[in-house]
Amino acid sequence: MNEFINQLKKNHIMVGTVFVFISLFIVIFGIAYLHFSTRNKERLALIEKGAEASIFVKGKREKAAPVWKVLVLNLALLLMGIGAGIMIGGILGTNLNVDWEIAMPGSIFLMAGTGLLVGFFLTKKLDKEE
């Protein structure tokens, strides 16, 4: 009987996990469907009013940095921020006796966000240079 109850608990956890992934897929599909159907309706309405088709084509910016440079820059700064956050969290936890549960996540998120913010400003600067 005890083994049967343990098996039911394992199945309950698995059902919950499957439910979460199915719900996540449905939400992503619903958002994508709404985006594309709304965009299509807006375009049809503009065409009916006589708008030119050139407004639907996204033109490339002449002085835009390549996507790979921006991606590498932001990823590098994010990882550097996470590494610095781990170091700062360790210092806070060891030397200043801050709780590890507070020091580590707080410093990691703070430094990762700082790295992404620096990446944003460097990307703007990179776009202006090229």
Res. 99 pLDDT band, cuts 50 70 90: very high
Residues 17-45 have pLDDT tens digits of 788 899 999 999 999 999 999 988 888 88
pTM above 0.75, yes or no: no
User: Phi/psi at 61 (nearest 5 deg)?
Assistant: -70, 140
118 with 77: CB under 8 angstroms? yes
Cα–Cα dist 10/80, whole Å: 39
**Radius of gyration of the chain from its Cα atoms, rounded to whole angstroms:** 24
Tell me: pLDDT of 12 over 80: no
What are the structure tokens assigned to 59, written together? 């033109």
Cα–Cα dist 77/115, whole Å: 5
Q: What is the DSSP string of 72-116?
A: HHHHHHHHHHHHHHHHHHHHHHHHS---HHHHHHHHHHHHHHHHH
Q: Is 33 helix (H, G, I), strand (E, B) or coil?
A: helix
Tell me: pLDDT of 118 over 90: yes
Look at the block and give the residue holding tokens 């619903």: 30
Region 57-74 average pLDDT: 77
